[in-house]
């Protein structure tokens, strides 16, 4: 099964659609200048485990990289995905503050 991902800036989210055009997942974001914070990822339960989340993550990070943006991965799914795909680390900002 293939999914397409498009930016829906009026809704501040990227949407994944199935072959019939229905929304099966999304990543919400906040954009300020060249900094984009990915805040939440959601996948329709009927599509969990079918690659929608990974397709979304790769698409949003590729989009950020192509536009020269700095990524702040607030969403735990996106943050974990980047750890598993270090080729995106150069565009990601993480806190350097030590927690005691």
Q: Would you list the domain boundaries of the chain? A: 4-91
Q: What global pTM score does this model have? A: 0.90
- Is the sign of the CA dihedral 14, 49, 54, 33 positive or negative? positive
Q: What is the pLDDT of residue 97?
A: 53
Q: Quick one: fold of 4-91?
A: Aminopeptidase (3.40.630)
pLDDT at 69 over 60: yes
Q: What is the pLDDT of residue 26?
A: 98
Q: What is the pLDDT of residue 1?
A: 80
Q: What is the pLDDT of residue 42?
A: 98
Burial 21-56 (b: 16+ CB within 10 A, else e): eeebbbbbbeeeeeebbbbebbbeeebeebbbbebb
Give the mean model confidence (pLDDT) for residues 30-46: 97
CB 55 within 8 A of CB 17: no
Pairing of strands 35-43, 70-73: parallel
Cα gap 72→94, rounded to integer Å: 7
For 58, counting Cβ atoms within 10 Å of its Cβ (0-12 exposed, 13-18 middle, 19+ buried), the class is middle
Residue 95 banded pLDDT, cuts 50, 70, 90? low
């Amino acid at each position: 099964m293939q999914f397409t991902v498009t930016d829906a800036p009026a809704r501040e989210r990227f949407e994944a659609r199935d072959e019939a055009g229905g929304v099966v997942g999304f990543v919400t974001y906040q954009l300020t200048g060249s900094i984009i914070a990915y805040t939440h990822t959601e996948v329709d339960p009927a599509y969990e485990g079918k690659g929608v989340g990974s397709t979304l993550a790769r698409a949003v990070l590729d989009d950020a990289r192509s536009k020269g943006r700095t990524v702040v991965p607030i969403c735990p799914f996106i943050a974990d995905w980047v750890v598993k795909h270090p080729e995106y680390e150069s565009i990601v900002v993480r806190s350097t503050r030590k927690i005691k």
